[in-house]
């Protein structure tokens, strides 16, 4: 046929052409996806792995450890920091239901009055509530005989200590500031040049195991008799007060038994007095810690078991001319305040009138006739 050109292809040229076609076809993805993942592993030496820009396993472990530590410290810091106290008063704060005075530093103290009217009172008392309590729990006012209060002409003022109930918290609270609060309360309420102070824990004050003048052996002995979890709680409050909130809110270890209202710390007499102790508390119980546990009970632990500004054993008789007296009432079966330490204090300070009640626990002021006896001894110097 005209114009037809026939070419001869050699065998070697055909083989070369075939190899080239196969090579070009292999550069594109096949339709069979199984060909993408061959059934064999590829091992890359560690030095080549690092040369590709990837960190070594050792470095990865260090990075993971650092990230974990940073995360743990952030969690620990947040857990140790107490929340801000709840606000008091309108427009969006907790309600104010009782009168308050304004102190010189701008804080407010809430108070409640009991007994005969102030204008006709012969004796005026400021009652200071104890740990985890409130102005409504003024035991000498609520448990004493109304006839005795009327007969002696007693006017009692009970107030919420800072951070409790309806009194503003005091972030700079110390033992001295607490005393100045009482003094200013008396001045603003015009209680006169002389008034009495009754302090409750209930009535027995706290004993700090780290007071310098306490014999080490006696203090350690009393400390060792406390529950293990209470030993740790007061130890934290003394040595690491910034961790008191965390220690008493974490769930890993048990916290202070008094905070948990554990019956383990109650004596036989205390158990019998529980009905009197709890009577009428239901509607107002929530007010005790309503601003937050840190500003109330935790701050109490830090102050009570922290480093004091003075040693109580160095105090001289404040009433050398018998124009007043200091009395301590103590139950010999108190499971919270060690009686052995109270006895030692009374021996070292002979001007204290010490009253130890046999078989009594921590709640003894609620027992029949005890509040009357306390008032008579305080005001009249006789029971």
Tens of pLDDT, residue by residue over 100-146, are 999 999 999 999 999 999 999 999 999 999 999 999 999 999 999 99
256, 229 contact by CB (below 8 A): yes
SS3 content of the chain, % helix, strand, coil (to 5): 45, 10, 45
With 0-12 CB in 10 A as exposed, 13-18 as middle and 19+ as buried, what is 284? middle
Determine the Cα–Cα distance for residues 169 and 151; give it in Å rounded to an integer: 37
Instruction: Give the mean pLDDT of 171-186.
Output: 95
Average confidence (pLDDT) over 49-61: 61
Q: How many Å apart are CA 282 and CA 145, to the nearest integer?
A: 23
Mean pLDDT of all residues in 39-61: 57
Contact 330, 354 (CB under 8 A): yes
Q: What's the average model confidence in pLDDT over 171-198? A: 95
pLDDT of residue 7: 47
Q: Which long-range contacts (CB under 8 A, 24 or more apart) does 276-284 make?
A: 276/143, 276/366, 277/363, 277/366, 281/137, 284/134, 284/136
Q: What's the pLDDT band for 15 if we cut at 50, 70, 90?
A: very low
User: Does the N-terminal peptide bond of residue 208 adopt cis geometry, omega within 30 degrees of 0?
Assistant: no
pLDDT at 250 over 70: yes
Q: Are 177 and 105 in contact (CB under 8 A)?
A: no
Strand order in the sheet with 154-159: 100-102, 108-115, 154-159, 123-128, 196-199
d(CA 244, CA 249): 9
**Taking 60 as the threshold, does the pLDDT of residue 23 lie above it?**
no
Q: Cβ-count burial of 42 within 10 angstroms (0-12 exposed, 13-18 middle, 19+ buried)?
A: exposed
Average pLDDT over residues 179-185: 97
Is 90 exceeded by the pLDDT of residue 37? no
Work out the pLDDT band at 90, boundaries 50, 70, 90.
confident
Model confidence pLDDT, tens digit, residues 297-316: 999 999 999 999 999 999 99
Angle at 124 between CA 121 and CA 129, to 5 degrees: 140
DSSP letter (8 states) at residue 88: B
Q: Which of 203-212, 225-234, 254-263, 315-324 has the lowest mean pLDDT?
A: 203-212
Distance, CA of 302 to CA of 208 (rounded, Å): 11
CB atoms within 10 A of CB 53: 6
What percent of the chain is predicted at pLDDT more than 90? 72
Q: What's this model's pTM, rounded to 2 decimal places?
A: 0.80
3-state SS of 279-314 is: CCCCCCHHHCCCCCCHHHHHHHHHHHHCCCCCCHHH
């Amino acid at each position: 046929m005209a114009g037809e050109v026939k070419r001869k292809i050699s065998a070697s040229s055909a083989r070369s052409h075939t190899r080239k076609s196969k090579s070009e076809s292999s550069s594109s993805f096949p339709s069979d996806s199984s060909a993408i993942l061959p059934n064999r592993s590829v091992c890359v030496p560690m030095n080549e792995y690092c040369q590709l820009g990837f960190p070594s396993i050792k470095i990865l472990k260090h990075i993971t450890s650092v990230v974990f530590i940073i995360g743990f410290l952030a969690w620990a810091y947040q857990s140790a920091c107490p929340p801000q106290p709840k606000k008091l008063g309108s427009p969006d704060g907790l309600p104010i239901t009782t009168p308050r005075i304004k102190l010189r530093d701008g804080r407010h103290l809430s108070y409640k009055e009991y007994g005969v009217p102030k204008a006709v009172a012969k004796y005026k008392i400021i009652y200071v509530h104890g740990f985890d309590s409130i102005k409504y729990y003024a035991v000498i006012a609520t448990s004493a005989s109304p006839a005795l209060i009327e007969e002696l002409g007693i006017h009692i003022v009970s107030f919420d200590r800072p951070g409790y109930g309806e009194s503003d918290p005091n972030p700079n609270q110390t033992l001295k500031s607490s005393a100045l609060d009482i003094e200013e309360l008396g001045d603003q309420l015009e209680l006169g040049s002389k008034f009495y102070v009754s302090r409750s824990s209930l009535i027995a004050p706290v004993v700090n195991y780290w007071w310098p003048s306490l014999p080490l052996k006696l203090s350690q002995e009393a400390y060792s008799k406390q529950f293990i979890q209470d030993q740790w709680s007061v130890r934290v409050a003394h040595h690491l007060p910034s961790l008191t909130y965390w220690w008493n809110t974490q769930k890993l270890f048990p916290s202070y038994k008094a905070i948990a209202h554990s019956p383990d710390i109650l004596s036989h007499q205390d158990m019998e007095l529980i009905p009197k102790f709890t009577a009428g508390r239901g509607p107002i119980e929530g007010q005790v810690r309503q601003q937050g546990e840190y500003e109330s009970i935790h701050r109490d632990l830090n102050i009570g078991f922290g480093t004091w500004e003075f040693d109580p054993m160095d105090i001289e008789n404040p009433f050398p001319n018998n124009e007043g007296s200091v009395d301590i009432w103590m139950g010999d079966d108190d499971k919270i305040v060690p009686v052995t330490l109270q006895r030692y204090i009374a021996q070292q300070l002979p001007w204290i009138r010490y009253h130890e009640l046999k078989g009594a626990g921590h709640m003894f002021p609620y027992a029949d006739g005890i509040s009357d006896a306390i008032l008579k001894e305080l005001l009249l110097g006789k029971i």
